Structure 1
Amino acid sequence: MSLISVAILFLSGFFSGVVNAIAGGGTFLTFGALTMTGLPPISANATSSIAQFPGYITSTYAYLHDIKAMWRGALAFAVISAIGALLGSLLLLSLDNVSFGALVPWLLLAATALFAAGPWLRPKKLAERPEGATSSLAGRIIQFFTSIYGGFFGAGMGVMMLATLGLTEGGDYHRLNALKNLLSIVIAAVAIVIFASGGVVAWMQAAIMVPGVALGGYAGVWTARRVPQGVVRALVVAVGLFLALHYFTKG
Protein backbone atom coordinates (compact mmCIF):
# COMPACT_ATOMS: atom_id res chain seq x y z
CA MET A 1 0.00 0.00 0.00
CA SER A 2 1.41 3.39 -0.99
CA LEU A 3 1.93 6.25 1.45
CA ILE A 4 -0.64 8.26 -0.50
CA SER A 5 -3.26 5.55 0.06
CA VAL A 6 -2.40 5.41 3.76
CA ALA A 7 -2.79 9.18 4.02
CA ILE A 8 -6.12 9.11 2.15
CA LEU A 9 -7.49 6.39 4.42
CA PHE A 10 -6.34 8.05 7.64
CA LEU A 11 -7.64 11.47 6.62
CA SER A 12 -10.96 10.07 5.45
CA GLY A 13 -11.29 8.35 8.83
CA PHE A 14 -10.43 11.60 10.61
CA PHE A 15 -12.93 13.71 8.67
CA SER A 16 -15.50 10.94 9.01
CA GLY A 17 -15.17 11.20 12.78
CA VAL A 18 -15.51 14.98 12.56
CA VAL A 19 -18.67 14.99 10.46
CA ASN A 20 -20.22 12.19 12.52
CA ALA A 21 -19.74 14.30 15.64
CA ILE A 22 -21.39 17.30 13.97
CA ALA A 23 -24.03 16.05 11.55
CA GLY A 24 -23.55 12.32 10.86
CA GLY A 25 -22.83 10.82 7.43
CA GLY A 26 -19.18 9.91 7.95
CA THR A 27 -19.71 6.53 6.27
CA PHE A 28 -19.84 8.31 2.90
CA LEU A 29 -16.22 9.41 3.39
CA THR A 30 -14.80 6.08 4.57
CA PHE A 31 -16.64 4.00 1.97
CA GLY A 32 -15.60 6.39 -0.80
CA ALA A 33 -11.94 6.43 0.26
CA LEU A 34 -11.79 2.65 0.49
CA THR A 35 -13.22 2.13 -2.99
CA MET A 36 -11.05 4.83 -4.53
CA THR A 37 -7.90 3.26 -3.08
CA GLY A 38 -8.70 -0.02 -4.77
CA LEU A 39 -10.98 -2.10 -2.54
CA PRO A 40 -13.94 -3.82 -4.22
CA PRO A 41 -17.31 -2.48 -3.03
CA ILE A 42 -18.29 -5.40 -0.77
CA SER A 43 -14.96 -5.29 1.05
CA ALA A 44 -15.13 -1.48 1.26
CA ASN A 45 -18.61 -1.67 2.77
CA ALA A 46 -17.53 -4.25 5.35
CA THR A 47 -14.33 -2.42 6.26
CA SER A 48 -16.14 0.89 6.59
CA SER A 49 -18.49 -0.71 9.12
CA ILE A 50 -15.53 -1.67 11.29
CA ALA A 51 -13.96 1.78 11.00
CA GLN A 52 -17.16 3.42 12.26
CA PHE A 53 -17.71 1.00 15.14
CA PRO A 54 -15.66 2.80 17.87
CA GLY A 55 -17.68 5.96 17.30
CA TYR A 56 -20.93 4.07 17.93
CA ILE A 57 -19.56 2.84 21.27
CA THR A 58 -18.44 6.23 22.54
CA SER A 59 -21.71 7.86 21.44
CA THR A 60 -23.73 5.20 23.26
CA TYR A 61 -21.64 5.54 26.41
CA ALA A 62 -22.48 9.23 26.52
CA TYR A 63 -26.17 8.28 26.70
CA LEU A 64 -25.76 5.48 29.26
CA HIS A 65 -28.11 7.11 31.78
CA ASP A 66 -30.91 7.43 29.19
CA ILE A 67 -30.46 3.81 28.08
CA LYS A 68 -30.70 2.51 31.67
CA ALA A 69 -34.05 4.26 32.01
CA MET A 70 -35.54 2.38 29.04
CA TRP A 71 -33.55 -0.85 29.05
CA ARG A 72 -36.53 -3.21 28.63
CA GLY A 73 -37.74 -1.56 25.44
CA ALA A 74 -34.16 -1.12 24.23
CA LEU A 75 -33.47 -4.83 24.74
CA ALA A 76 -36.44 -5.81 22.56
CA PHE A 77 -35.29 -3.42 19.85
CA ALA A 78 -31.74 -4.79 20.13
CA VAL A 79 -32.87 -8.38 19.55
CA ILE A 80 -34.95 -7.34 16.54
CA SER A 81 -32.04 -5.29 15.18
CA ALA A 82 -29.62 -8.21 15.57
CA ILE A 83 -31.88 -10.49 13.53
CA GLY A 84 -32.37 -7.87 10.83
CA ALA A 85 -28.65 -7.08 10.66
CA LEU A 86 -27.90 -10.79 10.34
CA LEU A 87 -30.23 -11.09 7.36
CA GLY A 88 -28.88 -7.91 5.75
CA SER A 89 -25.22 -8.85 6.09
CA LEU A 90 -25.84 -12.40 4.83
CA LEU A 91 -27.70 -10.90 1.86
CA LEU A 92 -24.66 -8.77 1.09
CA LEU A 93 -22.34 -11.78 1.17
CA SER A 94 -24.68 -13.67 -1.16
CA LEU A 95 -23.88 -11.13 -3.90
CA ASP A 96 -20.73 -10.76 -5.95
CA ASN A 97 -18.93 -7.45 -6.37
CA VAL A 98 -20.41 -6.88 -9.82
CA SER A 99 -23.99 -7.28 -8.55
CA PHE A 100 -23.39 -5.18 -5.45
CA GLY A 101 -21.49 -2.58 -7.47
CA ALA A 102 -24.55 -2.14 -9.69
CA LEU A 103 -26.65 -1.40 -6.59
CA VAL A 104 -24.14 0.96 -4.95
CA PRO A 105 -24.98 4.18 -6.88
CA TRP A 106 -28.70 3.73 -6.18
CA LEU A 107 -27.99 2.99 -2.52
CA LEU A 108 -25.76 6.07 -2.32
CA LEU A 109 -28.42 8.25 -3.94
CA ALA A 110 -31.07 6.99 -1.50
CA ALA A 111 -28.78 7.42 1.50
CA THR A 112 -27.74 10.92 0.35
CA ALA A 113 -31.36 11.98 -0.12
CA LEU A 114 -32.24 10.63 3.32
CA PHE A 115 -29.27 12.40 4.88
CA ALA A 116 -30.13 15.69 3.16
CA ALA A 117 -33.72 15.42 4.40
CA GLY A 118 -32.56 14.58 7.93
CA PRO A 119 -33.40 17.96 9.54
CA TRP A 120 -36.97 17.79 8.18
CA LEU A 121 -37.42 14.15 9.18
CA ARG A 122 -36.26 14.76 12.74
CA PRO A 123 -39.25 15.05 15.06
CA LYS A 124 -39.64 18.52 16.51
CA LYS A 125 -41.86 17.62 19.44
CA LEU A 126 -42.98 14.24 20.70
CA ALA A 127 -45.23 13.11 23.50
CA GLU A 128 -43.38 11.99 26.59
CA ARG A 129 -43.25 8.22 27.08
CA PRO A 130 -43.13 6.91 30.65
CA GLU A 131 -39.99 5.04 31.64
CA GLY A 132 -40.29 1.34 30.84
CA ALA A 133 -43.28 1.81 28.55
CA THR A 134 -43.83 -0.83 25.89
CA SER A 135 -42.66 0.06 22.40
CA SER A 136 -45.18 -0.02 19.58
CA LEU A 137 -45.50 -3.04 17.29
CA ALA A 138 -45.18 -0.76 14.26
CA GLY A 139 -41.91 0.59 15.66
CA ARG A 140 -40.47 -2.90 16.03
CA ILE A 141 -41.51 -3.97 12.55
CA ILE A 142 -40.05 -0.84 10.94
CA GLN A 143 -36.84 -1.25 12.97
CA PHE A 144 -36.52 -4.82 11.68
CA PHE A 145 -36.46 -3.62 8.07
CA THR A 146 -34.21 -0.68 8.94
CA SER A 147 -31.69 -3.05 10.51
CA ILE A 148 -31.73 -5.23 7.38
CA TYR A 149 -30.68 -2.13 5.45
CA GLY A 150 -28.05 -1.35 8.09
CA GLY A 151 -26.54 -4.82 7.85
CA PHE A 152 -26.55 -4.65 4.07
CA PHE A 153 -25.31 -1.06 3.55
CA GLY A 154 -24.62 1.15 6.54
CA ALA A 155 -24.60 4.62 4.93
CA GLY A 156 -27.48 6.74 6.22
CA MET A 157 -28.50 4.10 8.78
CA GLY A 158 -28.40 6.46 11.75
CA VAL A 159 -30.50 9.13 10.04
CA MET A 160 -33.00 6.50 8.95
CA MET A 161 -33.33 5.10 12.46
CA LEU A 162 -33.73 8.51 14.06
CA ALA A 163 -36.50 9.33 11.58
CA THR A 164 -38.39 6.04 11.92
CA LEU A 165 -38.06 5.89 15.71
CA GLY A 166 -39.33 9.45 15.84
CA LEU A 167 -42.45 8.43 13.92
CA THR A 168 -43.25 5.38 16.04
CA GLU A 169 -41.81 6.03 19.51
CA GLY A 170 -42.46 8.67 22.12
CA GLY A 171 -40.01 10.71 24.17
CA ASP A 172 -37.66 13.56 23.54
CA TYR A 173 -34.84 13.79 20.99
CA HIS A 174 -32.16 12.58 23.40
CA ARG A 175 -34.14 9.44 24.23
CA LEU A 176 -34.42 8.64 20.53
CA ASN A 177 -30.77 9.43 19.85
CA ALA A 178 -29.67 7.22 22.76
CA LEU A 179 -31.73 4.32 21.39
CA LYS A 180 -30.43 4.94 17.87
CA ASN A 181 -26.81 4.86 19.05
CA LEU A 182 -27.32 1.62 20.98
CA LEU A 183 -29.00 -0.09 18.03
CA SER A 184 -26.19 1.10 15.74
CA ILE A 185 -23.76 -0.87 17.92
CA VAL A 186 -25.90 -4.00 17.67
CA ILE A 187 -26.33 -3.77 13.91
CA ALA A 188 -22.67 -3.00 13.26
CA ALA A 189 -21.44 -5.73 15.65
CA VAL A 190 -23.53 -8.43 13.94
CA ALA A 191 -22.49 -7.24 10.50
CA ILE A 192 -18.81 -7.18 11.49
CA VAL A 193 -18.95 -10.78 12.76
CA ILE A 194 -20.58 -11.95 9.52
CA PHE A 195 -18.22 -9.93 7.33
CA ALA A 196 -15.16 -11.15 9.22
CA SER A 197 -16.27 -14.78 8.95
CA GLY A 198 -16.90 -14.21 5.26
CA GLY A 199 -13.33 -13.00 4.76
CA VAL A 200 -14.30 -9.69 3.15
CA VAL A 201 -12.75 -7.31 5.71
CA ALA A 202 -9.54 -5.46 4.76
CA TRP A 203 -7.99 -5.39 8.23
CA MET A 204 -4.98 -3.27 7.35
CA GLN A 205 -7.15 -0.51 5.91
CA ALA A 206 -9.44 -0.72 8.93
CA ALA A 207 -6.46 -0.40 11.29
CA ILE A 208 -5.38 2.77 9.48
CA MET A 209 -8.85 4.31 9.63
CA VAL A 210 -9.85 3.56 13.21
CA PRO A 211 -7.34 5.94 14.89
CA GLY A 212 -8.36 8.63 12.42
CA VAL A 213 -12.05 8.16 13.25
CA ALA A 214 -11.28 8.33 16.98
CA LEU A 215 -9.24 11.52 16.63
CA GLY A 216 -11.82 13.04 14.31
CA GLY A 217 -14.61 12.33 16.78
CA TYR A 218 -12.69 14.22 19.45
CA ALA A 219 -11.87 17.07 17.08
CA GLY A 220 -15.49 17.18 15.98
CA VAL A 221 -16.53 18.55 19.36
CA TRP A 222 -14.18 21.50 18.83
CA THR A 223 -15.30 21.91 15.21
CA ALA A 224 -18.99 21.80 16.10
CA ARG A 225 -18.58 25.00 18.08
CA ARG A 226 -17.08 26.86 15.10
CA VAL A 227 -18.49 25.39 11.86
CA PRO A 228 -22.24 25.58 11.14
CA GLN A 229 -23.87 22.17 10.88
CA GLY A 230 -25.42 23.18 7.56
CA VAL A 231 -21.97 23.62 6.01
CA VAL A 232 -20.88 20.14 7.07
CA ARG A 233 -24.18 18.64 5.93
CA ALA A 234 -23.80 20.27 2.50
CA LEU A 235 -20.28 18.84 2.21
CA VAL A 236 -21.46 15.31 3.04
CA VAL A 237 -24.32 15.57 0.52
CA ALA A 238 -21.83 16.73 -2.13
CA VAL A 239 -19.58 13.74 -1.38
CA GLY A 240 -22.56 11.36 -1.58
CA LEU A 241 -23.66 12.76 -4.94
CA PHE A 242 -20.09 12.66 -6.26
CA LEU A 243 -19.70 9.01 -5.26
CA ALA A 244 -23.08 8.10 -6.79
CA LEU A 245 -22.09 9.81 -10.05
CA HIS A 246 -18.72 8.06 -9.94
CA TYR A 247 -20.36 4.65 -9.67
CA PHE A 248 -22.97 5.40 -12.33
CA THR A 249 -20.26 6.38 -14.83
CA LYS A 250 -18.00 3.54 -13.72
CA GLY A 251 -20.75 1.04 -14.40
Structure 2
Amino acid sequence: MIQLLIDLLTPIFISMGVSTTDVQTYVNMLSGYIYTIIGLLAVAVIVMVAAHFLVKKGTRHVVRWSAGLAWALAVATIANIMCFGPLYNNLSPIMNTRAQVSEESIQNSKAVIKEVGEEGMVLLENNGVLPLTDTTNLNVFGWASTNPIFGGTGSGSSDNSASVGILQSLTDAGISYNKEITDMYTEYSPTRNLGGNVVSVTYTDWSLPEPPVEYYTDELMANAQKFSDTAMIVISRSGGEGQDLPTDMNAIIHGT
Protein backbone atom coordinates (compact mmCIF):
# COMPACT_ATOMS: atom_id res chain seq x y z
CA MET A 1 0.00 0.00 0.00
CA ILE A 2 2.76 2.45 0.96
CA GLN A 3 4.81 1.63 -2.15
CA LEU A 4 1.70 2.05 -4.33
CA LEU A 5 1.10 5.47 -2.78
CA ILE A 6 4.75 6.41 -3.40
CA ASP A 7 4.44 5.36 -7.04
CA LEU A 8 1.27 7.47 -7.44
CA LEU A 9 2.61 10.58 -5.68
CA THR A 10 6.18 10.62 -7.05
CA PRO A 11 5.34 11.90 -10.58
CA ILE A 12 3.10 14.61 -9.10
CA PHE A 13 5.67 15.94 -6.65
CA ILE A 14 8.60 15.60 -9.07
CA SER A 15 6.78 18.03 -11.38
CA MET A 16 6.70 20.43 -8.40
CA GLY A 17 10.47 20.14 -7.88
CA VAL A 18 10.39 17.62 -5.01
CA SER A 19 12.97 14.85 -5.20
CA THR A 20 12.01 11.19 -5.41
CA THR A 21 13.95 10.51 -2.23
CA ASP A 22 11.96 13.09 -0.27
CA VAL A 23 8.64 11.64 -1.46
CA GLN A 24 9.75 8.17 -0.32
CA THR A 25 11.06 9.51 2.98
CA TYR A 26 7.94 11.38 4.02
CA VAL A 27 5.42 8.80 2.83
CA ASN A 28 7.27 6.15 4.85
CA MET A 29 7.49 8.53 7.81
CA LEU A 30 3.72 9.15 7.66
CA SER A 31 2.82 5.50 7.12
CA GLY A 32 1.28 5.23 10.61
CA TYR A 33 -1.10 8.12 9.90
CA ILE A 34 -1.92 6.70 6.46
CA TYR A 35 -2.76 3.27 7.85
CA THR A 36 -4.91 4.93 10.52
CA ILE A 37 -6.94 6.75 7.87
CA ILE A 38 -7.35 3.53 5.88
CA GLY A 39 -8.35 1.62 9.02
CA LEU A 40 -10.95 4.24 9.97
CA LEU A 41 -12.32 4.14 6.42
CA ALA A 42 -12.72 0.37 6.73
CA VAL A 43 -14.58 0.86 10.03
CA ALA A 44 -16.85 3.49 8.46
CA VAL A 45 -17.67 1.19 5.54
CA ILE A 46 -18.43 -1.69 7.92
CA VAL A 47 -20.78 0.54 9.93
CA MET A 48 -22.55 1.66 6.76
CA VAL A 49 -23.02 -1.91 5.57
CA ALA A 50 -24.06 -3.16 9.02
CA ALA A 51 -26.66 -0.39 9.23
CA HIS A 52 -28.59 -2.08 6.45
CA PHE A 53 -29.08 -5.17 8.59
CA LEU A 54 -29.06 -3.86 12.16
CA VAL A 55 -30.80 -0.46 11.99
CA LYS A 56 -34.47 0.13 11.36
CA LYS A 57 -35.49 1.43 7.99
CA GLY A 58 -35.88 5.19 8.04
CA THR A 59 -32.93 5.80 10.34
CA ARG A 60 -30.26 3.93 8.36
CA HIS A 61 -29.30 7.04 6.44
CA VAL A 62 -28.60 8.83 9.73
CA VAL A 63 -26.14 6.11 10.76
CA ARG A 64 -24.49 6.07 7.34
CA TRP A 65 -24.14 9.85 7.18
CA SER A 66 -22.83 9.88 10.73
CA ALA A 67 -20.20 7.26 9.88
CA GLY A 68 -19.15 9.18 6.78
CA LEU A 69 -18.96 12.51 8.56
CA ALA A 70 -17.05 10.95 11.46
CA TRP A 71 -14.49 9.56 9.03
CA ALA A 72 -14.16 12.92 7.24
CA LEU A 73 -13.66 14.67 10.60
CA ALA A 74 -11.03 12.08 11.57
CA VAL A 75 -9.18 12.63 8.26
CA ALA A 76 -9.23 16.40 8.76
CA THR A 77 -7.91 15.99 12.32
CA ILE A 78 -5.14 13.61 11.27
CA ALA A 79 -4.19 15.87 8.35
CA ASN A 80 -3.82 18.80 10.75
CA ILE A 81 -1.73 16.67 13.12
CA MET A 82 0.58 15.77 10.22
CA CYS A 83 0.84 19.36 8.97
CA PHE A 84 1.58 20.84 12.40
CA GLY A 85 3.61 17.84 13.52
CA PRO A 86 6.13 15.91 11.38
CA LEU A 87 5.58 18.08 8.26
CA TYR A 88 5.61 21.48 9.99
CA ASN A 89 9.23 22.37 9.19
CA ASN A 90 8.62 21.63 5.51
CA LEU A 91 5.25 23.34 5.17
CA SER A 92 5.88 26.45 7.25
CA PRO A 93 8.09 28.15 4.60
CA ILE A 94 5.37 27.49 2.00
CA MET A 95 2.59 28.85 4.19
CA ASN A 96 4.68 31.86 5.16
CA THR A 97 4.35 34.02 2.04
CA ARG A 98 6.92 36.47 3.35
CA ALA A 99 9.68 33.87 3.00
CA GLN A 100 10.72 34.21 -0.64
CA VAL A 101 13.97 33.21 -2.34
CA SER A 102 15.12 35.55 -5.07
CA GLU A 103 15.92 34.31 -8.57
CA GLU A 104 19.47 35.60 -8.08
CA SER A 105 19.92 33.37 -5.02
CA ILE A 106 18.55 30.38 -6.92
CA GLN A 107 20.96 30.89 -9.82
CA ASN A 108 23.90 31.43 -7.45
CA SER A 109 23.02 28.19 -5.67
CA LYS A 110 22.94 26.28 -8.96
CA ALA A 111 26.33 27.72 -9.91
CA VAL A 112 27.84 26.60 -6.58
CA ILE A 113 26.31 23.11 -6.96
CA LYS A 114 27.83 22.79 -10.44
CA GLU A 115 31.22 23.94 -9.20
CA VAL A 116 31.18 21.53 -6.23
CA GLY A 117 30.20 18.68 -8.55
CA GLU A 118 33.03 19.42 -10.98
CA GLU A 119 35.62 19.75 -8.22
CA GLY A 120 34.32 16.66 -6.42
CA MET A 121 34.95 14.32 -9.33
CA VAL A 122 38.34 12.71 -8.80
CA LEU A 123 40.19 10.57 -11.33
CA LEU A 124 42.11 8.04 -9.27
CA GLU A 125 44.71 7.17 -11.91
CA ASN A 126 45.11 7.94 -15.59
CA ASN A 127 47.88 6.22 -17.50
CA GLY A 128 47.27 8.11 -20.70
CA VAL A 129 43.93 6.45 -21.50
CA LEU A 130 41.94 9.65 -21.14
CA PRO A 131 40.77 11.68 -22.87
CA LEU A 132 39.39 9.26 -25.47
CA THR A 133 40.54 11.06 -28.60
CA ASP A 134 40.52 8.30 -31.22
CA THR A 135 37.96 5.96 -29.64
CA THR A 136 34.39 6.08 -30.97
CA ASN A 137 33.18 2.70 -29.66
CA LEU A 138 33.16 1.75 -25.99
CA ASN A 139 32.16 -1.33 -24.00
CA VAL A 140 30.41 -0.11 -20.84
CA PHE A 141 30.39 -2.71 -18.07
CA GLY A 142 28.59 -2.52 -14.74
CA TRP A 143 24.85 -2.75 -14.12
CA ALA A 144 24.88 0.76 -12.61
CA SER A 145 25.56 2.19 -16.05
CA THR A 146 21.87 1.62 -16.77
CA ASN A 147 20.75 2.89 -13.33
CA PRO A 148 23.20 5.54 -12.10
CA ILE A 149 22.82 7.14 -8.68
CA PHE A 150 22.58 10.93 -8.88
CA GLY A 151 22.31 11.70 -5.18
CA GLY A 152 22.41 10.28 -1.70
CA THR A 153 20.16 10.14 1.32
CA GLY A 154 18.88 12.94 3.54
CA SER A 155 20.43 16.27 2.63
CA GLY A 156 22.28 14.49 -0.16
CA SER A 157 19.02 13.88 -2.02
CA SER A 158 18.04 15.96 -5.01
CA ASP A 159 15.57 16.20 -7.86
CA ASN A 160 17.18 14.02 -10.52
CA SER A 161 14.31 14.13 -13.02
CA ALA A 162 16.43 16.25 -15.38
CA SER A 163 19.72 14.43 -14.78
CA VAL A 164 21.55 12.99 -17.78
CA GLY A 165 22.70 9.37 -17.43
CA ILE A 166 26.11 7.97 -18.32
CA LEU A 167 24.98 6.27 -21.52
CA GLN A 168 23.25 9.40 -22.79
CA SER A 169 26.34 11.43 -21.94
CA LEU A 170 28.47 9.12 -24.08
CA THR A 171 26.01 9.48 -26.96
CA ASP A 172 26.09 13.27 -26.58
CA ALA A 173 29.91 13.10 -26.75
CA GLY A 174 29.78 11.16 -30.02
CA ILE A 175 30.81 7.82 -28.50
CA SER A 176 28.85 4.65 -29.30
CA TYR A 177 28.41 2.06 -26.56
CA ASN A 178 27.83 -1.68 -26.87
CA LYS A 179 24.04 -2.01 -26.68
CA GLU A 180 24.23 -5.79 -26.42
CA ILE A 181 25.84 -5.41 -22.99
CA THR A 182 23.39 -2.69 -21.97
CA ASP A 183 20.42 -4.82 -23.01
CA MET A 184 21.76 -7.69 -20.91
CA TYR A 185 21.82 -5.44 -17.82
CA THR A 186 18.33 -4.02 -18.35
CA GLU A 187 16.87 -7.49 -18.98
CA TYR A 188 18.56 -8.76 -15.81
CA SER A 189 17.01 -6.03 -13.67
CA PRO A 190 15.36 -2.85 -15.00
CA THR A 191 15.32 -1.21 -11.54
CA ARG A 192 17.65 -1.19 -8.57
CA ASN A 193 15.50 -3.71 -6.66
CA LEU A 194 12.32 -5.61 -7.44
CA GLY A 195 10.26 -3.41 -5.11
CA GLY A 196 11.43 -0.15 -6.65
CA ASN A 197 14.44 2.02 -5.93
CA VAL A 198 13.75 2.90 -2.30
CA VAL A 199 16.36 5.26 -0.89
CA SER A 200 15.54 7.54 2.03
CA VAL A 201 17.01 8.85 5.25
CA THR A 202 15.36 5.94 7.09
CA TYR A 203 15.90 3.11 4.60
CA THR A 204 18.31 2.33 1.80
CA ASP A 205 18.36 -0.66 -0.52
CA TRP A 206 21.96 -1.86 -0.33
CA SER A 207 21.54 -4.63 -2.92
CA LEU A 208 24.14 -4.79 -5.69
CA PRO A 209 22.20 -6.18 -8.64
CA GLU A 210 25.20 -7.17 -10.74
CA PRO A 211 24.53 -10.13 -13.08
CA PRO A 212 26.49 -13.27 -12.09
CA VAL A 213 29.34 -14.49 -14.27
CA GLU A 214 27.18 -16.84 -16.35
CA TYR A 215 25.49 -13.81 -17.92
CA TYR A 216 28.80 -12.84 -19.50
CA THR A 217 28.65 -15.57 -22.13
CA ASP A 218 31.49 -16.40 -24.51
CA GLU A 219 29.41 -14.97 -27.36
CA LEU A 220 28.76 -11.72 -25.48
CA MET A 221 32.44 -11.23 -24.64
CA ALA A 222 33.59 -12.18 -28.16
CA ASN A 223 31.20 -9.62 -29.63
CA ALA A 224 32.43 -7.06 -27.10
CA GLN A 225 36.02 -7.65 -28.16
CA LYS A 226 35.03 -7.12 -31.79
CA PHE A 227 33.11 -3.97 -30.88
CA SER A 228 35.99 -2.24 -29.07
CA ASP A 229 39.23 -2.87 -27.21
CA THR A 230 38.38 -0.08 -24.75
CA ALA A 231 36.05 -0.54 -21.80
CA MET A 232 34.60 1.52 -18.99
CA ILE A 233 33.36 0.01 -15.71
CA VAL A 234 30.60 1.75 -13.74
CA ILE A 235 30.07 1.14 -10.02
CA SER A 236 27.44 3.01 -7.98
CA ARG A 237 26.70 2.87 -4.27
CA SER A 238 24.15 4.94 -2.40
CA GLY A 239 24.92 6.62 0.90
CA GLY A 240 24.53 9.90 2.73
CA GLU A 241 22.95 11.49 5.77
CA GLY A 242 21.81 8.83 8.23
CA GLN A 243 22.80 5.96 5.91
CA ASP A 244 26.51 5.19 5.96
CA LEU A 245 27.73 2.48 3.62
CA PRO A 246 27.70 -0.95 5.30
CA THR A 247 31.09 -2.42 6.20
CA ASP A 248 29.91 -6.04 5.95
CA MET A 249 28.37 -6.80 2.56
CA ASN A 250 28.36 -10.53 3.41
CA ALA A 251 25.72 -9.84 6.03
CA ILE A 252 23.73 -7.78 3.54
CA ILE A 253 23.89 -10.52 0.90
CA HIS A 254 22.71 -13.23 3.30
CA GLY A 255 20.13 -11.03 5.02
CA THR A 256 21.68 -11.37 8.49
TM-score band w.r.t. shorter chain: under 0.3
* Higher RCO (CA-CA < 8 Å; seq separation 6+): 1
User: TM-score of the superposition, structure 2-length normalised?
Assistant: 0.27
Q: Which has the higher helix share?
A: 1
Which structure is larger by alpha-carbon Rg, 1 or 2? 2
